[in-house]
Amino acid sequence: MWFCDLASLSEPDAVAHQVAAVVGAAPPRGGSVLDSVVDALRPADGVVVLDNCEHVLGAAGELVHRVVETCERVTVLATSRAPLGLAGGTPASVGSARPGSDPIHRSRRR
User: What domains are defined for the chain?
Assistant: 2-84 (3.40.50.300)
- Tell me phi and psi for residue 57, to 5 degrees: -55, -45
Question: What pLDDT shows up at residue 99?
Answer: 65
The one-letter code for the residue type at 69 is: E
- The 10s digit of each residue's pLDDT in 52-81 is 999 999 999 999 999 999 999 999 999 998
Instruction: Name every residue whose Cβ is closer than 8 Å to that of residue 51 and which is 6 or more positions away in sequence.
Output: 3, 4, 5, 6, 7, 78, 79
Which segments of the chain have a pLDDT < 50?
A: 105-110
Question: What pLDDT shows up at residue 74?
Answer: 97
Instruction: Find the largest Cα–Cα distance for the chain.
Output: 57
Give the predicted TM-score (pTM) of the model: 0.81
The one-letter code for the residue type at 11 is: E
The one-letter code for the residue type at 99 is: P
Question: What pLDDT shows up at residue 24?
Answer: 96
